[in-house]
A and B are shown apart, each in its own frame.
Chain A
Amino acid sequence: MSRVYRDGDTVLRGMNAEAFADFQQLAATRFFAAAVERGDIVRTEVVDGVELPDDWAGVLRHERIDVISYPYEWPFEMLRDAAQLQLRLTREAVAEKLITKDASSYNVQFAGTRPVFIDIGSFERLRKAEPWPGYRQFCELFLNPLLVQAVRDVPFQPLLRGSVHGISPVVTADILGGAGRLTKGVFTHVKLHARAELRYADADKERDVKAELKRAGFGPGLIDAQLKNLEKAIDGLKWDKQRSTWSDYSDRSHYTDRDLDAKDEFVRATISGAAQMPRLVLDLGANDGRFSRTALAAGASSVVAVDSDDLVVDRLYRDLREEGERRILPLVLDLSDPSPGLGWRSRERLSFVDRVRADLVLCLAVVHHLALTNTVPLDEIVTFLADLGAPIVVEFPHRDDPMASRLLARKREGVFDAYDLPNWDKALDRQFHVHDRITLPSGTRTLYRCTPR
């Protein structure tokens, strides 16, 4: 067994004797060195003389991943890329007599748009006649979420957030129903898997069949064939929405170019004029990533770009991947309902606000959506921004702004009377020092640069 310790920027892993022996075997393989070199596996070294709270036979140090993200914050294509990485590494391991003992999508992280496998402790020696122990978990946390979205257009993010264990074969079979009969992988990995599980739920019966299967020659060749089959299933998945072109999807048609240019300039000036260059920028409501790119161009090291629409984030991810831009991490996040703490003691997976600590927050074209669509009071919006604990650039659309008035037109008279510039200024001033404010050329929006009090 092994356990991970994080202390500031250092990530250490303590391993007991058996796990450490597994690691030494892993370190001696050809695929491991090559995968680390490619960036597929997190950079890892053995360290000596480190004090850890528990006693371990060996200690490893891992390269730190800037921002930890979870599968329920990824769009379809990110989960697919993570799944392909998990399968590729497992196949390479099997070829050198190792195996991954689990297959959790939480074991993959994204360094920007690049998936990286971080669970070194997952590799162990392949035992005789053992099946792939990670198979069920692979289905629950990779294949099934992708299937429900590809086949039934059911977004997987709320399901994965609902249970850190993922979507079981039985539940997936129920969600898919008769659909997906012709989709590769559904029959074997979902329907048959679900039925066989129900059938062998009885432990004694299970033991017999398992022994019979082992005797009949269950081995590495079969595991490789199984992995290849899963690879084909994952490669073949298509999410229809992904293919359609949403050329006018970016919510920018109402902007004048002059407004956009002024916002770009304001972001640029904020970053290049900062006393200390912000390393990590958090872009809320990032859409097509325009201001994330502006932040990078102005000198920021990396950006987390969040948006609540998973299709928009999916498209941003694919664009960035194609461009080879690896400094932007696109994530699906609904600001009115950000990721909470989940899993064991509700601390196994940290909440978004506890996990992502940026040096600068961009909150452009967001406040009116939160205030008018999600009906969050202005002072609550400011409190949320203050929770993020960083300087912010925030935009407030006035009541007469075309977008804001379109949202207001649908509301009952009087309910949103508090939505105006003086009230916003008052709320902002209570928790932030405002250093700079400009009105955009259109005259209907105000930009602020401020720091928390």
Chain B
Amino acid sequence: MLSYLDPGTGGMIAAAFAGGVAGFGVLFRMYGHRVLGLFSKKHRAQAEAARAELAVEDDEDETAPKRASTV
């Protein structure tokens, strides 16, 4: 009747693995950002900004109903 689905991080990682070349690209960029973040202050600042931006988007999403009704 009611299902609440919040896509988990585990699922996203598995999705990236399943996604072949496209998924590899995403994982590569993600770890790339991490490695660059170790050495560059500027990069860390960019990452923070991006994270804040996404967090705002997430919060907006959370006001939207996520309940799906099934028969």
Q: In the docked arrangement, what's the CA distance between A3 and B4, Å?
A: 14
Which residues from chain A contact B71 at a C-beta distance below 8 Å?
Answer: 4, 11, 68, 106-107, 109, 118-119
- A18-B65, A101-B68, A215-B33 known; A197+B11 contact, CB < 8 A: yes
Interface residues of B in 44-71 (CB under 8 A from A): 47, 50-51, 54-55, 57, 61, 64-71
Contact status A101-B9, CB under 8 Å: no
Which residues from chain A contact B9 at a C-beta distance below 8 Å?
Answer: 196, 200, 205-206, 209-210, 213
Contact status A3-B14, CB under 8 Å: no
- A211-B55, A222-B23 known; A1+B12 contact, CB < 8 A: no
B contacts, CB < 8 Å to A: 1-3, 5-23, 25-30, 32-34, 47, 50-51, 54-55, 57, 61, 64-71
| Contact string against B for A residues 189-205, beta-carbon threshold 8 Å, 1 for contact and 0 otherwise | 10011111111100001
| Contact of A348 with B by CB under 8 A | yes
Q: In the docked arrangement, what's the CA distance between A213 and B5, Å?
A: 19
Number of A-B contacts (CB under 8 A): 168
Name the prevailing secondary structure of the A interface residues: helix
Q: 27 A–B contact pairs at CB < 8 A?
A: A2-B68, A16-B65, A107-B70, A119-B69, A128-B57, A130-B7, A131-B15, A135-B14, A188-B17, A193-B10, A197-B11, A200-B9, A206-B8, A208-B51, A209-B9, A211-B50, A211-B54, A213-B26, A213-B30, A215-B47, A216-B33, A217-B25, A222-B26, A225-B20, A225-B21, A226-B15, A226-B23
Which 9 pairs between the two chains have the least Cβ-Cβ distance? A197-B10, A196-B10, A216-B29, A225-B19, A216-B30, A200-B9, A193-B14, A229-B18, A196-B13
Partner of B16, one of A4, A16, A222, A344: A222
Q: With contacts A19-B65, A205-B9, A210-B9 known, what are 8 further pairs, Cβ within 8 A?
A: A104-B70, A122-B68, A133-B7, A192-B13, A196-B10, A200-B13, A215-B29, A222-B16
